[in-house]
Structure 1
Amino acid sequence: MSKDTMRLYHVYDPMCAWCWGYKPTWLQLESALKGRLEIVYLVGGLAPDTDVSMPMEMRHQIASYWNKIESLLGTQFNHDFWSSNTPRRSTYPACRAMLCARLQGAEKEMLSAVQQAYYLQARNPSDLSTLIELAGEIGLNTEQFERDLGSSEIEQTLMQELRFARSIGGNSFPSLFIVKGESIIELPIDYKDADATLSQIEQVLGKF
Protein backbone atom coordinates (compact mmCIF):
# COMPACT_ATOMS: atom_id res chain seq x y z
CA MET A 1 0.00 0.00 0.00
CA SER A 2 1.22 3.46 -0.86
CA LYS A 3 1.99 5.80 2.01
CA ASP A 4 -0.16 8.33 0.16
CA THR A 5 -3.24 6.12 0.40
CA MET A 6 -5.93 7.86 2.42
CA ARG A 7 -7.25 5.85 5.34
CA LEU A 8 -9.76 6.28 8.12
CA TYR A 9 -8.35 4.76 11.30
CA HIS A 10 -10.86 3.61 13.91
CA VAL A 11 -9.01 3.26 17.22
CA TYR A 12 -11.05 1.16 19.63
CA ASP A 13 -10.75 -1.13 22.61
CA PRO A 14 -13.04 -4.18 22.77
CA MET A 15 -13.63 -3.58 26.50
CA CYS A 16 -14.21 0.18 26.26
CA ALA A 17 -17.76 1.02 27.30
CA TRP A 18 -17.78 4.21 25.24
CA CYS A 19 -16.86 2.16 22.16
CA TRP A 20 -19.87 -0.04 22.91
CA GLY A 21 -22.03 3.06 23.21
CA TYR A 22 -20.68 4.42 19.92
CA LYS A 23 -21.17 1.16 18.03
CA PRO A 24 -24.59 1.83 16.40
CA THR A 25 -23.43 5.22 15.10
CA TRP A 26 -20.08 3.82 13.99
CA LEU A 27 -21.76 1.02 12.02
CA GLN A 28 -23.93 3.59 10.22
CA LEU A 29 -20.85 5.64 9.38
CA GLU A 30 -18.86 2.62 8.26
CA SER A 31 -21.70 1.51 5.99
CA ALA A 32 -22.00 4.98 4.44
CA LEU A 33 -18.26 5.01 3.67
CA LYS A 34 -18.09 1.53 2.19
CA GLY A 35 -16.16 1.62 -1.06
CA ARG A 36 -15.30 5.28 -0.68
CA LEU A 37 -12.49 5.20 1.85
CA GLU A 38 -10.19 2.54 3.27
CA ILE A 39 -11.14 1.87 6.89
CA VAL A 40 -8.56 0.37 9.24
CA TYR A 41 -9.31 -0.90 12.74
CA LEU A 42 -6.63 -0.37 15.41
CA VAL A 43 -6.82 -1.87 18.90
CA GLY A 44 -6.33 0.68 21.64
CA GLY A 45 -4.84 -1.22 24.56
CA LEU A 46 -6.85 0.41 27.32
CA ALA A 47 -5.39 -1.61 30.18
CA PRO A 48 -2.38 -4.00 30.30
CA ASP A 49 -2.30 -7.56 31.62
CA THR A 50 -2.98 -8.16 35.29
CA ASP A 51 -4.20 -10.99 37.49
CA VAL A 52 -5.11 -8.58 40.28
CA SER A 53 -8.82 -8.14 40.91
CA MET A 54 -10.14 -4.65 40.33
CA PRO A 55 -10.34 -2.50 43.47
CA MET A 56 -13.89 -1.85 44.62
CA GLU A 57 -13.53 1.88 44.04
CA MET A 58 -12.62 1.27 40.40
CA ARG A 59 -15.52 -1.14 39.97
CA HIS A 60 -17.92 1.52 41.18
CA GLN A 61 -16.31 4.10 38.90
CA ILE A 62 -16.58 1.95 35.76
CA ALA A 63 -20.12 0.89 36.69
CA SER A 64 -20.98 4.59 36.92
CA TYR A 65 -19.68 5.03 33.34
CA TRP A 66 -22.05 2.30 32.24
CA ASN A 67 -24.94 4.14 33.92
CA LYS A 68 -23.93 7.41 32.27
CA ILE A 69 -23.72 5.84 28.79
CA GLU A 70 -27.10 4.16 29.35
CA SER A 71 -28.61 7.49 30.28
CA LEU A 72 -27.01 9.49 27.44
CA LEU A 73 -27.24 7.00 24.58
CA GLY A 74 -29.75 4.34 25.62
CA THR A 75 -27.04 1.68 25.37
CA GLN A 76 -27.89 -1.65 27.01
CA PHE A 77 -25.68 -3.08 29.77
CA ASN A 78 -26.02 -6.17 31.94
CA HIS A 79 -24.98 -4.93 35.37
CA ASP A 80 -24.90 -8.51 36.68
CA PHE A 81 -21.32 -8.55 35.39
CA TRP A 82 -20.12 -6.84 38.56
CA SER A 83 -21.62 -9.45 40.89
CA SER A 84 -21.07 -12.59 38.81
CA ASN A 85 -17.38 -12.05 37.94
CA THR A 86 -14.07 -11.07 39.48
CA PRO A 87 -13.33 -8.04 37.29
CA ARG A 88 -9.73 -7.19 36.36
CA ARG A 89 -8.51 -4.00 34.75
CA SER A 90 -7.03 -5.91 31.82
CA THR A 91 -8.00 -5.40 28.17
CA TYR A 92 -4.80 -6.55 26.45
CA PRO A 93 -6.07 -10.17 26.26
CA ALA A 94 -9.19 -9.00 24.40
CA CYS A 95 -7.03 -6.82 22.15
CA ARG A 96 -4.86 -9.83 21.31
CA ALA A 97 -8.05 -11.75 20.55
CA MET A 98 -8.93 -9.11 17.95
CA LEU A 99 -5.55 -9.58 16.28
CA CYS A 100 -5.91 -13.37 16.33
CA ALA A 101 -9.37 -13.12 14.78
CA ARG A 102 -7.98 -10.68 12.19
CA LEU A 103 -5.63 -13.45 11.04
CA GLN A 104 -8.72 -15.54 10.33
CA GLY A 105 -10.57 -12.66 8.66
CA ALA A 106 -13.02 -12.15 11.51
CA GLU A 107 -11.93 -9.14 13.57
CA LYS A 108 -15.32 -7.42 13.41
CA GLU A 109 -17.13 -10.64 14.29
CA MET A 110 -14.85 -11.17 17.27
CA LEU A 111 -15.32 -7.59 18.39
CA SER A 112 -19.10 -8.02 18.36
CA ALA A 113 -18.79 -11.31 20.22
CA VAL A 114 -16.58 -9.82 22.94
CA GLN A 115 -18.76 -6.74 23.36
CA GLN A 116 -21.95 -8.78 23.59
CA ALA A 117 -20.36 -11.25 26.00
CA TYR A 118 -19.09 -8.47 28.25
CA TYR A 119 -21.92 -5.98 28.19
CA LEU A 120 -24.98 -8.18 27.60
CA GLN A 121 -24.07 -11.66 28.85
CA ALA A 122 -22.00 -10.70 31.92
CA ARG A 123 -19.03 -12.81 30.77
CA ASN A 124 -15.45 -11.70 31.41
CA PRO A 125 -13.29 -11.07 28.31
CA SER A 126 -10.24 -10.57 30.53
CA ASP A 127 -10.29 -14.37 30.90
CA LEU A 128 -8.59 -16.35 28.15
CA SER A 129 -11.16 -19.13 28.55
CA THR A 130 -13.94 -16.68 27.63
CA LEU A 131 -12.06 -15.47 24.56
CA ILE A 132 -11.43 -19.02 23.35
CA GLU A 133 -15.10 -19.90 23.89
CA LEU A 134 -16.15 -16.87 21.87
CA ALA A 135 -13.75 -17.77 19.06
CA GLY A 136 -15.46 -21.14 18.82
CA GLU A 137 -18.91 -19.58 18.95
CA ILE A 138 -18.21 -17.44 15.88
CA GLY A 139 -16.71 -20.37 13.99
CA LEU A 140 -13.01 -19.67 14.20
CA ASN A 141 -10.37 -22.41 14.25
CA THR A 142 -10.01 -22.48 18.02
CA GLU A 143 -6.76 -24.46 18.01
CA GLN A 144 -5.13 -21.84 15.80
CA PHE A 145 -6.76 -19.03 17.79
CA GLU A 146 -5.48 -20.34 21.12
CA ARG A 147 -2.02 -20.93 19.68
CA ASP A 148 -1.90 -17.42 18.23
CA LEU A 149 -3.24 -15.88 21.44
CA GLY A 150 -0.10 -16.87 23.32
CA SER A 151 2.36 -16.33 20.49
CA SER A 152 5.25 -13.88 20.40
CA GLU A 153 4.10 -12.79 16.93
CA ILE A 154 0.75 -11.56 18.23
CA GLU A 155 2.46 -9.86 21.17
CA GLN A 156 4.79 -8.07 18.77
CA THR A 157 1.87 -7.05 16.54
CA LEU A 158 -0.01 -5.73 19.56
CA MET A 159 2.91 -3.57 20.68
CA GLN A 160 3.45 -2.24 17.15
CA GLU A 161 -0.23 -1.42 16.77
CA LEU A 162 -0.40 0.37 20.12
CA ARG A 163 2.66 2.43 19.21
CA PHE A 164 1.19 3.37 15.85
CA ALA A 165 -2.19 4.27 17.38
CA ARG A 166 -0.44 6.53 19.91
CA SER A 167 1.72 8.08 17.18
CA ILE A 168 -1.34 9.40 15.33
CA GLY A 169 -2.98 10.59 18.56
CA GLY A 170 -5.10 7.59 19.48
CA ASN A 171 -4.90 7.91 23.24
CA SER A 172 -8.62 7.65 23.99
CA PHE A 173 -11.30 5.36 22.64
CA PRO A 174 -13.09 5.49 20.36
CA SER A 175 -11.00 7.80 18.17
CA LEU A 176 -11.16 8.49 14.45
CA PHE A 177 -8.32 9.79 12.27
CA ILE A 178 -7.99 10.43 8.57
CA VAL A 179 -4.37 9.86 7.56
CA LYS A 180 -2.71 10.52 4.21
CA GLY A 181 1.06 10.68 4.03
CA GLU A 182 2.17 13.05 6.79
CA SER A 183 -1.29 14.57 7.19
CA ILE A 184 -3.28 13.44 10.24
CA ILE A 185 -6.75 14.81 10.89
CA GLU A 186 -8.60 13.81 14.05
CA LEU A 187 -12.38 13.73 13.77
CA PRO A 188 -14.52 14.57 16.79
CA ILE A 189 -16.67 11.67 17.96
CA ASP A 190 -20.38 12.35 17.64
CA TYR A 191 -21.99 9.50 19.55
CA LYS A 192 -25.46 10.10 18.17
CA ASP A 193 -25.15 11.49 14.65
CA ALA A 194 -23.29 9.54 11.97
CA ASP A 195 -24.27 12.11 9.35
CA ALA A 196 -22.37 14.88 11.17
CA THR A 197 -19.15 12.87 11.04
CA LEU A 198 -19.83 11.82 7.46
CA SER A 199 -20.12 15.49 6.46
CA GLN A 200 -16.78 16.23 8.12
CA ILE A 201 -15.14 13.32 6.31
CA GLU A 202 -16.56 14.49 2.99
CA GLN A 203 -15.09 17.94 3.61
CA VAL A 204 -11.69 16.37 4.26
CA LEU A 205 -11.95 14.19 1.15
CA GLY A 206 -12.69 17.31 -0.88
CA LYS A 207 -9.46 18.95 0.27
CA PHE A 208 -7.18 16.12 -0.82
Structure 2
Amino acid sequence: MTSDTTKLKYVYDPMCSWCWGYRPAWIALKQLIAEHDNDIEIEYCLGGLAADSDVPMPDEMQGFLSQTWHKIAAQLGTEFNHDFWQVCRPRRSTYPACRACIVARDHGLEQQMILAIQTAYYLEAKNPSDIDTLVEAADSIGIESAAFSKAIMSDEVNQRLMAELTAVHQLPIRGFPSLVLEYKGRNYPIALDYREAQVTFNEIKASMA
Protein backbone atom coordinates (compact mmCIF):
# COMPACT_ATOMS: atom_id res chain seq x y z
CA MET A 1 0.00 0.00 0.00
CA THR A 2 1.26 3.48 -0.83
CA SER A 3 0.41 6.80 0.76
CA ASP A 4 -1.58 7.57 -2.38
CA THR A 5 -4.08 4.81 -1.60
CA THR A 6 -7.53 6.11 -0.65
CA LYS A 7 -9.50 3.76 1.56
CA LEU A 8 -12.88 3.90 3.21
CA LYS A 9 -12.66 1.69 6.29
CA TYR A 10 -15.95 0.25 7.48
CA VAL A 11 -15.54 -0.67 11.14
CA TYR A 12 -18.20 -3.13 12.22
CA ASP A 13 -19.11 -6.06 14.44
CA PRO A 14 -21.29 -8.80 12.92
CA MET A 15 -23.39 -8.82 16.12
CA CYS A 16 -23.78 -5.04 16.34
CA SER A 17 -27.47 -4.18 16.06
CA TRP A 18 -26.76 -0.67 14.78
CA CYS A 19 -24.64 -2.24 12.02
CA TRP A 20 -27.71 -4.25 11.05
CA GLY A 21 -29.75 -1.06 11.05
CA TYR A 22 -27.14 0.69 8.93
CA ARG A 23 -26.96 -2.08 6.33
CA PRO A 24 -29.33 -0.52 3.71
CA ALA A 25 -27.55 2.85 3.86
CA TRP A 26 -24.16 1.13 3.69
CA ILE A 27 -25.18 -0.81 0.58
CA ALA A 28 -26.41 2.43 -1.00
CA LEU A 29 -23.16 4.22 -0.08
CA LYS A 30 -21.05 1.48 -1.66
CA GLN A 31 -23.14 1.82 -4.81
CA LEU A 32 -22.53 5.57 -4.91
CA ILE A 33 -18.80 5.01 -4.53
CA ALA A 34 -18.82 2.38 -7.29
CA GLU A 35 -20.69 4.73 -9.61
CA HIS A 36 -18.84 7.97 -8.89
CA ASP A 37 -15.44 7.28 -7.36
CA ASN A 38 -13.86 3.94 -8.21
CA ASP A 39 -10.54 5.15 -6.78
CA ILE A 40 -11.82 4.65 -3.22
CA GLU A 41 -10.98 1.19 -1.92
CA ILE A 42 -13.38 -0.24 0.67
CA GLU A 43 -11.88 -2.16 3.58
CA TYR A 44 -13.85 -4.07 6.21
CA CYS A 45 -12.41 -3.82 9.73
CA LEU A 46 -13.63 -5.79 12.73
CA GLY A 47 -14.37 -3.86 15.89
CA GLY A 48 -14.92 -6.67 18.39
CA LEU A 49 -17.74 -5.62 20.69
CA ALA A 50 -17.37 -8.32 23.33
CA ALA A 51 -14.68 -10.86 24.21
CA ASP A 52 -15.17 -14.61 24.54
CA SER A 53 -17.48 -15.58 27.40
CA ASP A 54 -19.58 -18.54 28.48
CA VAL A 55 -21.36 -16.49 31.14
CA PRO A 56 -25.08 -15.88 30.54
CA MET A 57 -25.89 -12.26 29.76
CA PRO A 58 -27.27 -10.44 32.81
CA ASP A 59 -30.97 -9.62 32.70
CA GLU A 60 -30.24 -5.88 32.74
CA MET A 61 -28.03 -6.18 29.66
CA GLN A 62 -30.63 -8.30 27.90
CA GLY A 63 -33.24 -5.67 28.65
CA PHE A 64 -31.02 -2.88 27.38
CA LEU A 65 -30.21 -4.66 24.11
CA SER A 66 -33.82 -5.69 23.59
CA GLN A 67 -34.84 -2.05 23.98
CA THR A 68 -32.10 -1.06 21.52
CA TRP A 69 -33.57 -3.44 18.93
CA HIS A 70 -36.98 -1.83 19.38
CA LYS A 71 -35.42 1.64 19.13
CA ILE A 72 -33.64 0.80 15.85
CA ALA A 73 -36.81 -0.77 14.46
CA ALA A 74 -38.81 2.35 15.34
CA GLN A 75 -36.23 4.81 13.97
CA LEU A 76 -35.11 2.99 10.83
CA GLY A 77 -37.78 0.38 10.11
CA THR A 78 -35.23 -2.41 10.58
CA GLU A 79 -36.70 -5.90 10.99
CA PHE A 80 -35.90 -7.89 14.14
CA ASN A 81 -37.13 -11.22 15.46
CA HIS A 82 -37.63 -10.35 19.11
CA ASP A 83 -38.22 -14.02 19.96
CA PHE A 84 -34.42 -14.25 20.28
CA TRP A 85 -34.62 -13.10 23.89
CA GLN A 86 -37.01 -15.92 24.79
CA VAL A 87 -35.62 -18.84 22.77
CA CYS A 88 -31.86 -18.26 23.13
CA ARG A 89 -29.43 -18.14 26.03
CA PRO A 90 -27.66 -14.85 25.24
CA ARG A 91 -24.00 -14.31 26.09
CA ARG A 92 -22.03 -11.10 25.77
CA SER A 93 -19.58 -12.63 23.30
CA THR A 94 -19.03 -11.45 19.73
CA TYR A 95 -15.43 -12.56 19.14
CA PRO A 96 -16.50 -15.96 17.74
CA ALA A 97 -18.60 -14.19 15.08
CA CYS A 98 -15.67 -11.87 14.36
CA ARG A 99 -13.39 -14.88 13.82
CA ALA A 100 -15.99 -16.35 11.48
CA CYS A 101 -15.74 -13.20 9.37
CA ILE A 102 -11.95 -13.51 9.20
CA VAL A 103 -12.23 -17.11 8.00
CA ALA A 104 -14.82 -16.05 5.43
CA ARG A 105 -12.54 -13.19 4.32
CA ASP A 106 -9.93 -15.79 3.40
CA HIS A 107 -12.53 -17.31 1.05
CA GLY A 108 -13.52 -13.93 -0.39
CA LEU A 109 -16.86 -14.22 1.39
CA GLU A 110 -16.68 -11.73 4.28
CA GLN A 111 -19.69 -9.70 3.19
CA GLN A 112 -21.72 -12.87 2.69
CA MET A 113 -20.74 -14.09 6.16
CA ILE A 114 -21.78 -10.81 7.76
CA LEU A 115 -25.23 -11.14 6.21
CA ALA A 116 -25.49 -14.82 7.15
CA ILE A 117 -24.68 -14.03 10.78
CA GLN A 118 -27.04 -11.06 10.88
CA THR A 119 -29.82 -13.11 9.31
CA ALA A 120 -29.37 -15.90 11.85
CA TYR A 121 -29.24 -13.47 14.75
CA TYR A 122 -31.81 -10.81 13.92
CA LEU A 123 -34.31 -12.70 11.78
CA GLU A 124 -34.04 -16.38 12.77
CA ALA A 125 -33.48 -15.96 16.54
CA LYS A 126 -30.26 -18.00 16.51
CA ASN A 127 -27.24 -17.19 18.67
CA PRO A 128 -24.02 -16.31 16.77
CA SER A 129 -22.07 -16.59 20.03
CA ASP A 130 -22.49 -20.36 19.49
CA ILE A 131 -20.11 -22.13 17.15
CA ASP A 132 -22.94 -24.32 15.78
CA THR A 133 -24.71 -21.21 14.50
CA LEU A 134 -21.52 -19.99 12.84
CA VAL A 135 -20.83 -23.36 11.21
CA GLU A 136 -24.37 -23.31 9.81
CA ALA A 137 -23.80 -19.77 8.51
CA ALA A 138 -20.54 -20.85 6.86
CA ASP A 139 -22.23 -23.81 5.22
CA SER A 140 -24.99 -21.55 3.89
CA ILE A 141 -22.45 -19.46 1.97
CA GLY A 142 -20.47 -22.42 0.66
CA ILE A 143 -17.62 -22.85 3.16
CA GLU A 144 -17.04 -26.50 4.01
CA SER A 145 -18.01 -27.18 7.63
CA ALA A 146 -15.00 -29.20 8.80
CA ALA A 147 -12.46 -26.77 7.36
CA PHE A 148 -14.37 -23.81 8.79
CA SER A 149 -14.61 -25.39 12.24
CA LYS A 150 -10.87 -26.05 12.27
CA ALA A 151 -10.00 -22.53 11.10
CA ILE A 152 -12.29 -20.65 13.48
CA MET A 153 -10.77 -22.45 16.48
CA SER A 154 -7.16 -21.91 15.36
CA ASP A 155 -4.62 -19.75 17.19
CA GLU A 156 -3.70 -18.17 13.87
CA VAL A 157 -7.18 -16.74 13.27
CA ASN A 158 -7.44 -15.57 16.87
CA GLN A 159 -4.08 -13.79 16.60
CA ARG A 160 -5.23 -12.08 13.43
CA LEU A 161 -8.38 -10.90 15.18
CA MET A 162 -6.39 -9.51 18.11
CA ALA A 163 -4.06 -7.67 15.74
CA GLU A 164 -7.01 -6.24 13.82
CA LEU A 165 -8.70 -5.04 17.01
CA THR A 166 -5.47 -3.36 18.10
CA ALA A 167 -5.22 -1.54 14.76
CA VAL A 168 -8.89 -0.53 14.83
CA HIS A 169 -8.56 0.96 18.31
CA GLN A 170 -6.00 3.40 16.89
CA LEU A 171 -8.58 4.79 14.45
CA PRO A 172 -10.69 7.90 15.16
CA ILE A 173 -13.89 6.02 16.01
CA ARG A 174 -16.40 6.15 18.86
CA GLY A 175 -18.40 2.98 18.30
CA PHE A 176 -19.81 0.66 15.67
CA PRO A 177 -20.50 1.03 12.88
CA SER A 178 -17.91 3.68 12.03
CA LEU A 179 -16.42 4.99 8.82
CA VAL A 180 -12.85 6.23 8.51
CA LEU A 181 -11.42 7.70 5.32
CA GLU A 182 -7.71 7.07 4.80
CA TYR A 183 -6.58 9.82 2.45
CA LYS A 184 -3.02 10.94 1.73
CA GLY A 185 -1.71 9.06 4.73
CA ARG A 186 -4.21 10.46 7.25
CA ASN A 187 -7.37 9.02 8.79
CA TYR A 188 -10.52 11.13 8.79
CA PRO A 189 -13.67 10.17 10.74
CA ILE A 190 -16.75 10.22 8.51
CA ALA A 191 -20.15 10.80 10.06
CA LEU A 192 -22.76 8.15 9.22
CA ASP A 193 -26.22 9.06 8.02
CA TYR A 194 -28.45 6.06 8.66
CA ARG A 195 -31.05 7.19 6.15
CA GLU A 196 -29.33 9.09 3.33
CA ALA A 197 -26.21 7.59 1.83
CA GLN A 198 -25.74 10.71 -0.29
CA VAL A 199 -25.09 12.78 2.84
CA THR A 200 -22.25 10.46 3.86
CA PHE A 201 -20.89 10.35 0.32
CA ASN A 202 -20.83 14.16 0.22
CA GLU A 203 -18.81 14.23 3.46
CA ILE A 204 -16.34 11.73 2.04
CA LYS A 205 -15.85 13.92 -1.04
CA ALA A 206 -15.51 17.03 1.11
CA SER A 207 -12.77 15.33 3.16
CA MET A 208 -10.86 14.74 -0.08
CA ALA A 209 -11.20 18.31 -1.31
Q: CA deviation at 1:2?
A: 1.6
- Aligned ranges for residues 87-126 of structure 1 at < 5 Å? 87-126=90-129
Residue by residue over 1:144-167, the C-alpha shift from the partner in whole angstroms, topping out at 9 and shown as x without a partner, is 211110111111110111011111
What TM-score comes out, normalization by structure 1 length?
Answer: 0.96
Q: CA deviation at 1:26?
A: 0.4
- Aligned ranges for residues 18-167 of structure 1 at < 5 Å? 18-34=18-34, 35-167=38-170
2:193 to 187, 190, 193: 190
Q: CA deviation at 1:174?
A: 0.3
Q: Contact 1:44–1:171 at 8 Å: present in 2 too?
A: no
3-state DSSP of counterpart to 1:38: strand
CA RMSD between the two structures: 1.1
- Structure 2 unmatched runs, 5+: none
What TM-score comes out, normalization by structure 2 length?
Answer: 0.95
Distance in 2 (CA, whole Å) between partners of 1:105 and 1:145 is 14
Q: Contact 1:11–1:42 at 8 Å: present in 2 too?
A: yes
Q: Contact 2:6–2:39 at 8 Å: present in 1 too?
A: no
Residue by residue over 1:124-149, the C-alpha shift from the partner in whole angstroms, topping out at 9 and shown as x without a partner, is 00000110011011111222211110
Distance in 2 (CA, whole Å) between partners of 1:174 and 1:144 is 29
Aligned residues: 206
Distance in 2 (CA, whole Å) between partners of 1:197 and 1:51 is 38
Runs of 4+ aligned residues of structure 1 deviating over 3 Å after TM superposition are none
Distance in 1 (CA, whole Å) between partners of 2:158 and 2:199 is 36
- Structure 1 unmatched runs, 5+: none
Is 1:17 matched up with 2:17?
yes
